[in-house]
Homo-oligomer: A and B are copies of this chain.
Amino acid sequence: MARGFRQKIRQKNTENSGFGDNASGRFINKDGLPNVHKKGVGILNRFSWYHTMLDLSTFQFLSYLVIAYIIVNILFALIYFLIGVEHLTGIDKSNPMNEFIDVFFFSSQTFTTVGYGRIAPVGFTASLVATFEAFLGLLTFAIATGLFYGRFSRPRAYLKFSDIAVIAPFKEGSALMFRLAPYKNNSLTDADVIVSTAIEVIENSVPKSNFYTLKTQLSKINTLALNWTVVHKIDEESPFFGFSEEDFKNTDIEIIVHVRAFDEVFSNTVVQRSSYVSKEIIYGAKFIPMYYPDKENLSTILDLDRINHYQQADLPVLEEQ
């Protein structure tokens, strides 16, 4: 792992990355979250269940709701069963199984506040439990309403990043490039990108991660309607200046990307992060354009499936190495 780079990098490393020297492994995972695990404090305090509920996939979220619904009804069915089915009208008392089935469905009819009334509570205890269950049901659906809204109103950038970054020829020299495109029917404006890199260097024979900011040719664009190819020219100010193909392969490099834009539907700033490590950087390649005019020449078509399309491209021979 510790394949530090021994050459001198001219740029001073930045200290405000938020990661320390002895942090290890990838810093930012491909999905943009920091590769950090927390312990201590107690597991209940360490999780924001709202953040957790918002991060679940739709399928997981709905499954959890259904499972919770079944468990709650089984619990209340048990309670009604223990209280005694004689306190409920309309129960099929032919055998205990049928009794349990009827109290289970009475529970669900109460929890959802359907309340057909074919089965209804009589007397204090059963009525009290039913009263509480209906209240709990409504609160549960109040919470579910909030969670649904929280989930789908959560501002997200919906950006697709190219899986790979390339070292491509650029203006007599070379540049690190990757691209990104909005893939949904959202409208992003005022987009900007911050690119930084972590390079493992050997200092006093100890591997250590240094952080550098990578300058981009264009750090801001007005309307993020088509794809955006982010270009970092490898000139004398770049920490990658003088890197050969072997250097890119043998050094632990991580390119950390942070995109920020304004979404016009949410009227909110949305962010998305990603990262590229050494094996995701292709040396001597260039991207193939992914948009073209439509047949009638009246509109532009953006083909999202082409985001990773690239072709080989010879780089100029490095003078200084």
Interface status of A148 (Cβ within 8 A of chain B): yes
| Min C-beta distance of A67 to chain B, whole Å | 12
- Stretch of A5-13, A135-143, A236-244, A278-286 on the interface side: A135-143
The reply to whether A183 and B262 contact each other, CB–CB distance below 8 Å, is: no
Contact with B along A210-225 (1 / 0, CB 8 A): 0000000010111111
* B266-A48 in contact (CB<8A): no
Q: Is A310 an interface residue (CB 8 A)?
A: no
Stretch at the interface among A78-86, A171-179, A184-192, A311-319: A184-192
Using known A-B contacts A36-B299, A110-B114, A153-B50, determine if residue A221 contacts B101 with beta carbons closer than 8 Å.
no
Decide yes or no whether A159 CB sits under 8 A from chain B.
no
Residues of B within 8 A of A160 (CB): 41
> With an 8 A cutoff between CB atoms, is A303 at the interface?
yes
Interface of A is mostly: mixed
Q: In the assembled complex, which residues on chain B have CB atoms less than 8 Å from the CB atom of A39?
A: 301-305
Which residues of chain B are within 8 angstroms of A73 by Cβ–Cβ distance?
131
Which residues of B sit under 8 angstroms from A128, Cβ to Cβ? 105
Query: Which of B134, B145, B299 touches A109 (beta carbons < 8 Å)?
Result: B134
Chain B hits for A102, CB < 8 A: 127
Q: A22-B293, A40-B305, A89-B118 are in contact. List 12 more A-B contacts (CB 8 A).
A: A16-B220, A18-B223, A22-B289, A24-B297, A36-B302, A39-B301, A39-B304, A46-B185, A112-B135, A149-B150, A194-B222, A267-B269
